[in-house]
A and B are shown apart, each in its own frame.
Chain A
Amino acid sequence: MNVRWFTEIISKAAIVALLAMQTTLSHAQGFAGLGEDVDGFAQVMPGKPLRFPADHGAHPDYRIEWWYFTANLKDAEGTSYGVQWTLFRQANKPNDNASGWASRQLWMGHAAVTSAATHHFAERFARGGVGQAGVEAAPFKAWIDNWQMRTLFADPSVFASLQVSASAKDFSYSLRLDGDRQLVLQGDAGYSKKSEQGHASYYYSQPYLRVTGSLVLDRKTIAVTGQGWIDREWSSQPLKADQTGWDWFSLHLASGDKLMLFRLRHADGKHFFAGNWISRDGRSEQLAPGAISMTPTATTRIADRDVPTGWRISIPSRGLEITTAPLNPRSWMDTRFKYWEGPVHVTGSHAGEGYLEMTGY
């Protein structure tokens, strides 16, 4: 999936609260958290095979990592909802295995439920080393406080049969994810480039998830079903300093194909495009940067920013010519790191649905 947080971390405007805090936890290594300096952390190299289930777990030798789940859901009346569950890890010291409060790992969780009219979200923070947050590879379990994503059966290759739950003051959800398809490697066999200069991450997904479960909104329990998408990504290399923001799509097309696309915005207007076309049979093919066209068609004014919430996307080589519209144009995550993330509806040459995330606005 995307490299969304790199954007935040590199963007000077986004050096706020937690970031400042995270940076200084690595004070001992100098100002290592922010620059392009990757002293001591493992590098993302092409051609390295991913291994499962080990790679489901945390990679403390890499600086940053996340476990990301989104779902497009409907209730019995056909009303649409979107759900997000994310766990981030950041190390401020390479190979940090210290236990207790001395640990230099920081964890952050985000959860959200979006409907056409409402957007509920919550965030959690934790220090590593004391068990408040963490990830175990097998049997898979990722948690922060009482939010968790854990496996129900132990079949590591599928990375499905998971239970996902989160609860906050004004919403909660508990979902079961099922699937029988193999994991999908993004980029070039899991090596996902973020710039022409070799910034990259390891990136794999599980986009074939059937989701059933319930949401609680305004104290009403709503039974829902739909489709979900899990992204796993880790890296040590921050983005280039001139990359100001990020627009990223994960789309379930009605044809059964899946599409992952992102645009890294550059200050000079020469944006970096990347994406993978995942066919019905599970084949994941990288799209050439020149083959992708992403154009904003509508903006929404949120929190004193203009956010492009409507898009036209075309990939002529695949015969794709679509527009996306948000379920709720105000899907603003007003967390300590602020960004837009919400479900979208797809029309045009292909019908479908998915998730859009935009940072750096």
Chain B
Amino acid sequence: MTGGAWTLRVLFSHWTRHPMQLATLLIGLMSATALLSGVQAINTQARLSYDRAAASFGGGATAMLVPAHATTVPQSLFSDLRRAGWLVSPVVEGRVRIDGRQIRLIGIEPISLPRGAGPAPSIDQAALQKFLAAEGQTLIAPETAREIAGTEGARLETDAGEPLPPLHLASELSPNLLVMDIAWAQRALRMPDRISRFLLDSAAAGERTPLADVAGDSLDLVDAGAQTDLQRLTASFHLNLTAFGLLSFLVGLFLVHSAIGLAFEQRLPMLRTLRACGVSPRGLLAALVVELVLLALVAGLGGVVSGFFLASALLPDVAASLRGLYGASVSGELGLAPQWWLAGLGMSIAGALLAAAHALVKVFRLPLLASAQPFAWQDAQRRWLRWQAVLACAAFVVAAVCLTLGTSLVAAFAVLGGILLGAALLLPPLLNLLLRAGEGMSRRPVAMWAWADSRQQLSGLSLALMALLLALAVNVGVGTMVGSFERTFNRWLDGRLSSEIYLVAKDPAQAAAIEADLRSRPDVDAVLPSARAETKLSGEQVEVLGLADHATYREFWPLLEFSPDVWDRVRDGTAILISEQLARRLNLHIGDRLRIPSSGEWIATVGGIYADYGNPKGQIIVNVDQLLHRFDNAERTRFGVRIAPAKVAALMAELQARFALGGTSLADQATVKAESRRIFSRTFAITAALNAFTLAVAGTALFTSLLTLGQARLPQLAPLWAIGLTRRRIAGLELLKTMLLALLTALLALPLGIIVAWCLIEVVNVKAFGWRLPLTIFPAQLGQLLIVAMIAALFATLLPTIKLARIKPITLLKIFADER
């Protein structure tokens, strides 16, 4: 065995004697790695799904020509473009309803389809044969087929009565998607002779006429590699996840730092002995690094595995959120690439080295002989606190700059990060000031000692306290945001869902029959038709919602801003209402004039802005008759019914029986509200889960830090015992001091948490989702969190305190004998 191996073996002997400590270190590293790699696995999986979805209609990788002003263009443009040298392939897309479920349908033209833009790699030549046959084929992902109870070869029909070609299961296809030949798709979507977009095969292009000469200004060229709608919409969601994943990672590293600090403290005599035996500082350092890397590898492996399980557990929720929020279909099965495993291990090693950097530097500079513990700590601490304060100010400045100048979501998170980091750095100087004030007020010697000693403890505990501060503040912030959101959302939902019954008819004929029937009933107070269409404003896909002119909306619709007589002008078609997020994105204000692409020319002013929480798409509201008149494809098939609540059940049963309405085509207000709440409550589900975990990690960090200190501070405590203070008294004082520090930290965390909430609501959410909520503070919730934090601190302190109270006098005595 070489000297290096011996050194390592000696170092490792420490862990066999302190298995709990080893466990803490490994758990810290594991949880940090698990959280971050778990979050990354989720993000990667989601992005993969988007790419697949994008690939199926030629997003991302393929250049496209998209309609500039409308949702579709005439099919004649296809031959015009081809004959002008533009190698385009037409795509028609939309949504169909099958058994009440909305499914995206894409029609492609495989003969002109550019290579690599196929709906799925599975369409090889043999499959193409069937795809193009007169009978045709509907490609569908197996999981989607299961969900709509379709099997290979089954012939489905849309709810509107259009037949689809037989199903063919294609495992590479995105979920919730049907792909078929354009001839079938135009029929199924009822879009004869219309094209939604063109895929462009730039690779094979020869000479071509300028686009404007062929298509005027009706088409825009979108280059390959441009961000797809889904990527844009979901970017904020994933940034959110990443930000919280990073926060958890950081807090996990605090834990690792304190565990390594403890081990270092305990092994000081061993390290000195090793040095005395002739191990060079460099050799010792190398041995410590090797030891650390080995531990990090083990913990990293565990972390990646638990990260995988964490991600698997969270993914269904995330997938459901993404579907509910953005209509994005994310596959529920996690696929992991080797680089993901390597990245996890890398993170673990880098994290461990970072957390141990301080200890390692100390080892390198370790004097061979123990010098007497000088009182120079005061000086060193003063310098260190000053530095912390300067850095904190710098972090605040960065946050302020980002707040005033930043426009992106990244800048919003930078504001949040700057505030959190600044506050954490400022915590030790602040606590120092408070403790000094306390010291100034006390007269009795033990009390004076206790205050002063607390200050000395600061440098050892500060990292754990900082972690606690961060975890608490983020908890307060997220809790306040979620609370504010729920309160606002519920009120908003009440205004928005004011009809007692909602129904969607199969087709206009059935709709007319239902409407006539409802209007003839004396117990029905009102029948409110609505309709939907899609259009484009400034290149952005926008939903158009048509509402009836009725007191129900005039009174309850959640308008944030509006001009006088707005509802009258909406009825006349001279004004429209726009959603808050659309107004923000397009920078529109009340009174602005807008050209709304529709079947004809339509110019209207913005008459009002309304809250549309949880909707990533822009939306405008117009009068239903105006919508039906101006959009050719729109159908009058949706109704809201006003009726006395007591009669809802009876009417629904009757409608169900008479018109065979069911599933999602008929719902009462309570059901729709519950469904909306369910979807929107998921918006922050992941955030909350990560948050709770962060708090747990912070508690553990505090616990290990205290264990570390308990060991290191014996030399300070032994003289007190020698002077005559009982062990119990000393332990009691220790408990009191730690709890005081924890309380001060928690109290500081409350205002910081409110600031974080403000930041989330006013900056992050606005940039991420496009809407702003009123901030509501919930004192009871804050009090509860404070109590939880104190209980956590008590538990963390209890074990070290009990240990101290039961310490053998001989141990204290030995301090004097062999102080290092």
Interface check A104, CB cutoff 8 A = yes
Interface check B723, CB cutoff 8 A = no
Interface check B79, CB cutoff 8 A = yes
CB neighbours (8 Å) of A21 from chain B are: 110-111, 125, 128-129, 132
Interface check A45, CB cutoff 8 A = no
CB neighbours (8 Å) of B648 from chain A are: none
A115-147 residues at the B interface, CB under 8 angstroms: 122, 125-127, 130-132, 143, 145-146
Nearest chain A CB to B452 CB, angstrom units: 81
Q: A20-B129, A132-B82 are in contact. Are A125 and B112 (CB under 8 A)?
A: yes
Contact A146 B207 (CB under 8 A): yes
Interface check B644, CB cutoff 8 A = no
Interface check A54, CB cutoff 8 A = no
Nearest chain B CB to A141 CB, angstrom units: 11
User: Mostly helix, strand, loop or mixed at chain A's interface?
Assistant: mixed
Interface check B174, CB cutoff 8 A = no
Contact A172 B133 (CB under 8 A): no
Contact A17 B130 (CB under 8 A): no
Contact B186 A24 (CB under 8 A): no
Q: Which of A25-33, A69-77, A298-306 contacts B (4 or more CB under 8 A)?
A: A25-33
Q: Which of B42-50, B83-91, B396-404, B739-747 contacts A (4 or more CB under 8 A)?
A: B83-91
Contact A168 B75 (CB under 8 A): no
What's the interface size class on A, roughly?
20 to 34
Q: A28-B134, A125-B112 are in contact. Are A20 and B203 (CB under 8 A)?
A: no
Interface check B667, CB cutoff 8 A = no
CB neighbours (8 Å) of A291 from chain B are: none
Interface check B534, CB cutoff 8 A = no
Cα separation A352 to B208 with both chains bound (whole Å): 37
CB neighbours (8 Å) of A143 from chain B are: 83
User: Mostly helix, strand, loop or mixed at chain B's interface?
Assistant: loop
Q: A127-B109, A131-B76, A169-B203 are in contact. Are A24 and B193 (CB under 8 A)?
A: no
Contact A146 B208 (CB under 8 A): yes
What's the interface size class on B, roughly?
20 to 34
B130-153 residues at the A interface, CB under 8 angstroms: 130, 132-135
Contact A145 B193 (CB under 8 A): no
Interface check B205, CB cutoff 8 A = yes
Contact A146 B84 (CB under 8 A): yes
CB neighbours (8 Å) of A23 from chain B are: 129
Contact B87 A145 (CB under 8 A): yes
Cα separation A16 to B128 with both chains bound (whole Å): 11
How many A-B contacts are there with CB distance less than 8 Å?
A: 83
A25-44 residues at the B interface, CB under 8 angstroms: 25-28
Interface check B183, CB cutoff 8 A = yes
B651-678 residues at the A interface, CB under 8 angstroms: none
Interface string of B621-649 (1 = CB under 8 A from A): 00000000000000000000000000000
CB neighbours (8 Å) of B181 from chain A are: 101
Contact B128 A20 (CB under 8 A): yes
Contact A126 B206 (CB under 8 A): no
Cα separation A143 to B83 with both chains bound (whole Å): 8
CB neighbours (8 Å) of B111 from chain A are: 21, 106, 125-127
Contact A169 B132 (CB under 8 A): no
A145 interface neighbour in B82, B133, B192, Cβ under 8 Å: B82
Cα separation A4 to B217 with both chains bound (whole Å): 44
B63-98 residues at the A interface, CB under 8 angstroms: 75-76, 78-79, 82-85, 87
Contact B82 A126 (CB under 8 A): yes
Cα separation A172 to B85 with both chains bound (whole Å): 12
Contact A168 B112 (CB under 8 A): no
Cα separation A33 to B82 with both chains bound (whole Å): 27
Most buried by B among A127, A131, A132: A132
A172 interface neighbour in B129, B130, B207, Cβ under 8 Å: B207
Cα separation A127 to B109 with both chains bound (whole Å): 9
B179-201 residues at the A interface, CB under 8 angstroms: 181-183, 186, 192-193
CB neighbours (8 Å) of A16 from chain B are: 125
Most buried by A among B109, B110, B132, B204: B132
A5-29 residues at the B interface, CB under 8 angstroms: 16-17, 20-21, 23-28
Q: A146-B85, A146-B207, A169-B206 are in contact. Are A131 and B132 (CB under 8 A)?
A: no
Cα separation A106 to B128 with both chains bound (whole Å): 15
Contact A126 B204 (CB under 8 A): no
CB neighbours (8 Å) of A125 from chain B are: 111-112
Nearest chain B CB to A155 CB, angstrom units: 25
Interface check B126, CB cutoff 8 A = yes
Most buried by B among A16, A130, A168, A169: A130
CB neighbours (8 Å) of A168 from chain B are: 204, 206
Contact A24 B78 (CB under 8 A): no
Nearest chain A CB to B493 CB, angstrom units: 44
Contact A24 B87 (CB under 8 A): no
CB neighbours (8 Å) of A131 from chain B are: 76, 78-79, 83
Nearest chain A CB to B200 CB, angstrom units: 13
Interface check A100, CB cutoff 8 A = yes
Nearest chain A CB to B108 CB, angstrom units: 11
Nearest chain B CB to A128 CB, angstrom units: 11
Q: A25-B134, A169-B203 are in contact. Are A20 and B126 (CB under 8 A)?
A: yes
Cα separation A146 to B81 with both chains bound (whole Å): 9
Interface check A314, CB cutoff 8 A = no
Cα separation A92 to B132 with both chains bound (whole Å): 12
Nearest chain B CB to A32 CB, angstrom units: 11
Interface check A163, CB cutoff 8 A = no
Contact A24 B133 (CB under 8 A): yes
Interface check A95, CB cutoff 8 A = no
Residue of B nearest to A144 (CB): B82
Residue of A nearest to B209 (CB): A146
Contact B186 A145 (CB under 8 A): no
CB neighbours (8 Å) of A24 from chain B are: 129-130, 132-133
Contact B132 A102 (CB under 8 A): no
CB neighbours (8 Å) of B132 from chain A are: 21, 24-25
CB neighbours (8 Å) of B109 from chain A are: 101, 127
Contact A132 B204 (CB under 8 A): no
Interface check A182, CB cutoff 8 A = no
Cα separation A168 to B85 with both chains bound (whole Å): 9
A280-335 residues at the B interface, CB under 8 angstroms: none
Cα separation A145 to B209 with both chains bound (whole Å): 12
CB neighbours (8 Å) of B110 from chain A are: 21
Residue of A nearest to B202 (CB): A169
CB neighbours (8 Å) of A26 from chain B are: 134
Cα separation A21 to B111 with both chains bound (whole Å): 9
B85 interface neighbour in A28, A132, A167, Cβ under 8 Å: A167
CB neighbours (8 Å) of A169 from chain B are: 203-206
Cα separation A28 to B207 with both chains bound (whole Å): 39
Residue of A nearest to B181 (CB): A101
Contact B75 A130 (CB under 8 A): yes
CB neighbours (8 Å) of A130 from chain B are: 75, 78-79
Contact A145 B75 (CB under 8 A): no
Not counting A100-B193, A132-B78, A132-B112, a sample of 12 additional A-B residue pairs whose C-beta atoms are within 8 angstroms of each other reads A21-B110, A27-B133, A28-B134, A28-B135, A125-B111, A125-B112, A130-B78, A146-B85, A167-B207, A169-B203, A169-B204, A169-B205
The 8 closest A-B pairs by CB, nearest first: A131-B79, A101-B183, A167-B206, A27-B133, A146-B85, A24-B133, A24-B129, A28-B134
Would you list 20 pairs from A and B whose C-beta atoms are within 8 A, ordered by A residue? A16-B125, A17-B128, A21-B125, A21-B128, A21-B132, A23-B129, A26-B134, A27-B134, A122-B204, A122-B206, A125-B111, A125-B112, A126-B112, A127-B111, A131-B83, A146-B83, A146-B84, A146-B206, A146-B207, A167-B85
Chain A residues near B (Cβ < 8 Å)? 16-17, 20-21, 23-28, 100-102, 104, 106, 122, 125-127, 130-132, 143, 145-146, 167-169, 172
